[in-house]
Each structure stands twice: as structure tokens, then as C-alpha cells.
Structure 1
Amino acid sequence: MAADFSVKPTLVGPRVVLRPFRAGDFPAVRDALRDPEVVRLTGSQPIVWDEAAEERLREWYGTRADRPDRLDLAVEERATGAWVGEVVLNEWDPPNRSCNFRTMFGPQGRDRGLGTEAARLLVGYGLEQLGLHRIALEVYSFNPRARRAYEKVGFVAEGVLRDALRTPQGWVDATVMAILADDWKGQDQQG
């Protein structure tokens, strides 16, 4: 089965809905990207905010539904209908049926299990519906909360990239984690 990333599904869980981005999401996305903790946890460089930067980002998020080689979905909290984050399957490698997973959650989406649920929904979709064999990610050593969430979904640590990120406090390692289709089939998806 060949993965079809051109389909942008809506996936519904008990507490979150994963859906294509909407124009109305951008203010919450902008606020998340301005949050120093989001910048730190994602290993990103701070954005110098001006009108041009804002327009580039608004345009970039506006094109996510048009990308046939990746799947970017907004995470909406069901109880409030608010955008709380995003989950992404990208870096698609067709011959190996593998891709990368990444996520970003704003302050209102953290520390409540929403990220774990969103990851479980997207990973399940990738492995079951897209026919992926492997989904991988990297998590920085200063983010044990994310690592625990990934482990709950079924990701397994494969190795360490030493000094993968330079921060003002010094060098930081990243752990490579992955989940295989067979790992997913062998676990209880309710936990």
C-alpha cells in the first residue's frame, strides 16, 4: 500500500480532534510560536516577529492542506474547540515506508495528556491507514515529559545523538525513537 498524504483526515479522540488547519487557527499558532517554552522544547530558533515574518508563517500554515508529501494536522481540544497544538508526519521516505513525527503544543495544550492522545491518533492513522512501516522522532534530553508521552504511544528509544542541539546553557543530546507497524499491532491501544 502506498501512503497517500494528500488526504487530510479529521481524527476524533475522547479529548482531541485532529483536523486540517483553518485560517482562524493562526492567532493561537502565533501565540504558541512566541512562547519561549515552545521554542525551547522544539529546539527552534526564536522568530524575529515583524509583519513579513507573520505573513510568511500565515502563508506557510495556509498551504499545509496542499502538501501531498506530508500530513500536518491541528490539534483541537474537544471540550473548548480551541487550537492547542499540531502533530505532523513529514520527511516521507516512500521506498522504506517511513516518515518523521513531530509535534508542537502551546501552553494551553500541555500537561493534560492531550499530546499523548494526539500522538496516538496520528501514529495509529499512519500505521493503519497510510501503511507506514516506521515512524521516527527525536526528543531532546531536557524534555522527559515528551519522552514519557512517546513511550506511552509505543515509541522505543533506538540511540542517542550526542550534542545534537546547542543551547545557551550548553550542548544537549537527542534520543532517536521509533515505532514500527509490528510494535503497534502488538500493543493495547487503550492505555
Structure 2
Amino acid sequence: MDFSVKPTLTGDRTVLRPFTEADAQVMGEIIEDPEVIRFTGDPSHELTPERLRSWYGSRSDQPDRLDLAVTDRANGELVGEVVLYEWDPQARSCTFRTIIGPKGRDRGLGTEATRLIVGHGFDQLGLHRIELEAYGHNHRALRVYEKVGFVVEGVRREAESRDGEWVDSVVMALLDREWAALSRR
């Protein structure tokens, strides 16, 4: 599997493209959005401008994962990211995650971006399985994943304490044959 080729994937509403250092400031603002923090957690370390520039500037050099910027096709604005990572060669599987900031929400951009990268994972990279975990209270994300075709495999009950409350973690996955059946429809 070669993740070193970072494609540009174009949909009706979004363009997924490789990250550059120039994306660091906007991604920093997105990561620090209160709703993003609520559903992904606080960053594990301080997000200095230097650290963000180093991270997003190095995404295109990673041979074992695919990080793409989600942009609004209408105006080119960066609204989030989609990532395939934790490549397991024996299982031909990856883990998926996404962050969509405030300017990208409730317009179908996250759903289309998810479809684009999942389709790339199955159709171009030859993945067998893509899995994810999402908080049980992240209803928007769970709806997106179900629309794209992900199936709930289990719930890790009260897996984490968030803001003084125990929250579930929902484990979902999509298999290549399920994607192929959905794509034929």
C-alpha cells in the first residue's frame, strides 16, 4: 500500500486536497472550535503556530497515512480534514477520522468528503475495511457515517469521562463489498 501519493478528490460541493503549511492557522482555529473539542477532545499538547505548521506541512510526506484538507468547492475555503491512518497491511484496513469546522457544517460537505475519501480507500487503495470510533453523543457525525454506509459493530459503554459525564464510544466499520454494493445503487 502506498499512501505517499496524495490525491486531489473533487466532488460537487467539496475538493479534498493535500495539506500545506499554509493551512496551519485555519486548522488551528478549527481544532480549537468548542464543538470540535466537545466531540474530539482537547489537543494532547499545546497547539503552537510552529507545531501546527510542522504538522500540516509534513502531512504530504507521510507514506503510511492519508491526510487531506476538506475545502468548500464554491470558494476554496478550508473547512476541515479527513484522514485514513493506522494502516494494517494484514487486514488491509485503516482507521478513519474527520474534523469539520463551523463553516463546513450542515451543508453536506462532511458527508461528501467522507464518501470521497472512503471511495478512494476502497476503489484506489484496495482497502478491505475502514473503521472508526465516534462518541455516542456526536449525533451529527454518526448520521453522516450511517448515510455513507458505515455499520455499528459495537458500543464501548461509558468509555470516557467528558465534562464530568460518562460517554459511550460507538465503533463502526464499512467493508469493501458493502461499499461496492452501495456504489452500484
Q: What's the TM-score once normalised by structure 2's chain length? A: 0.95
Tell me if 1:27 matches 2:13: no
Gaps of 5+ in 2: none
Contact 2:24/2:49, CA 8 A, preserved across alignment: no
8 Å contact from structure 2 (residues 9, 15) kept in 1: yes
Further displaced range: 122-131 or 104-113: 104-113
Deviation of the 1:170 alpha carbon:
1.0
What is the match of residue 68 of structure 2? 73
Query: Unaligned regions of 5+ residues in structure 1, if any?
Result: none
Choose 176-185 or 160-169, whichever is displaced more: 160-169
Report the identity percentage: 59
1:46 is displaced (CA, Å) by 7.2
Tell me, in whole angstroms, the C-alpha distance in 1 between the residues paired with 2:184 and 2:23. Answer: 29
Distance 1:60 1:162 in 2: 32
Q: Does 1:168 align with 2:163?
A: yes
What is the CA-CA distance between 1:47 and the residue it aligns to?
Answer: 5.5
1:86 aligns with 81
TM score, norm. by length of structure 1: 0.92
What is residue 109 of structure 2 aligned with on the other side? 114
Name the aligned partner's letter for residue 11 of structure 1.
Answer: L
Residue 91 (structure 2) aligned to one of 88, 96, 104 = 96
1:177 and 2:172 are equivalent in the alignment: yes
- Does the 8 A contact of 1:138 with 1:177 survive in 2? yes
2:139 corresponds in structure 1 to 144
Cα distance in 2 between the residues matched to 1:80 and 1:24: 17
- Distance in 1 between the 2:166 and 2:184 partners? 36
Decide whether aligned partners of structure 1 residues 23 and 48 sit closer, same or farther in structure 2, where only a CA change above 3 A counts.
closer
Q: Which amino acid aligns with 1:43?
A: G
Superimposed CA distance per residue, residues 19-70 of structure 1 (whole angstroms, 9 cap, x where no aligned partner) = 0012322221111122111111113347645xxx221122011110000000
Pair 1:40-2:35 in alignment: no
Name the aligned partner's letter for residue 113 of structure 2. Answer: A
- Give the Cα separation in 1 of the matches to 2:15 and 2:141: 20
- Report if the CA contact (8 A) 1:43-1:165 is conserved: no
Across the aligned residues of Structure 1 and Structure 2, the Cα RMSD in angstroms comes to: 1.5
Counterpart CA distance in 2 for 1:48 and 1:101 is: 24
Tell me, in whole angstroms, the C-alpha distance in 2 between the residues paired with 1:66 and 1:48. 23
Which of 58, 61, 64 is matched with 1:63 structurally? 58
* Contact in 2 for aligned 1:34/1:47 (Cα 8 Å): no
Q: What is the SS of the residue equivalent to 2:79?
A: strand
Question: Retained in 1: the 8 A contact 2:25–2:49?
Answer: no
Report which stretch shifted further, 39-48 or 150-159.
39-48
